[in-house]
Amino acid sequence: MAEKTLDNLFYDTLKDIYYAERKIVKALPKMARGAQSPELKAAFEKHRDETEWQIDQLQQVFDIIGKRAMGKTCDAIEGILAEGDEILEEYEGTDALDAGLIAAAQAVEHYEITRYGTLKRWATLLGHDDAAQLLDGILQQESKTDEDLTALADARANEKAQGAKAA
């Protein structure tokens, strides 16, 4: 068996996040439909557009490294998105729904932030400076989305959920 290198790890992780982003872009409309507040619906719709842009950026990264753009099943994102589906089902119609959806979305964001931070560092080490720049742009956008979700939670969703009567 051939020796595995950082280059192999970079490519495998890039395939992982590519798969994840493509799954996320399909999940966001469902989350938007489930959200109760207009602000959260709008945030999910905005993030869907950003995710489409991120997929385009990832395709450019694949081009830069001379590899085919393809996904590799990401069990982590599958699990995180399944948890979001559970929240949609179990909390539908309750005051806690938006807080739960925000928490689920932030779990996605935190996963993405770790992946993009790592990929950016590896791209730099491997001499793929153009790829590192693209990955940094995505990383900054993911961090901003996480901050925006926290602001939505703090502005109303968490307080509304706290006031809900326990079932």
pLDDT digits (tens, 9 = 90+) for 66-116: 999 999 999 999 999 999 999 999 999 999 999 999 999 999 999 999 999
Q: What is the pLDDT of residue 165?
A: 52
pTM of the model: 0.92
Helix (H) or strand (E) holding 128: none
Q: Could you tell me the CATH superfamily of domain 6-158?
A: Ferritin, core subunit, four-helix bundle (1.20.1260.10)
Q: Where are the domains of the chain?
A: 6-158
Across 146-159, average pLDDT: 94
Q: What is the pLDDT of residue 13?
A: 98
Residues contacting 71, CB < 8 A, separation 6+: 15, 16, 18, 19, 22
Check if the beta carbon of residue 161 is closer than 8 Å to that of residue 40.
no
Residue 125 vs residues 34, 44, 120, 131, 145: alpha-carbon distances, Å: 42, 34, 9, 11, 27
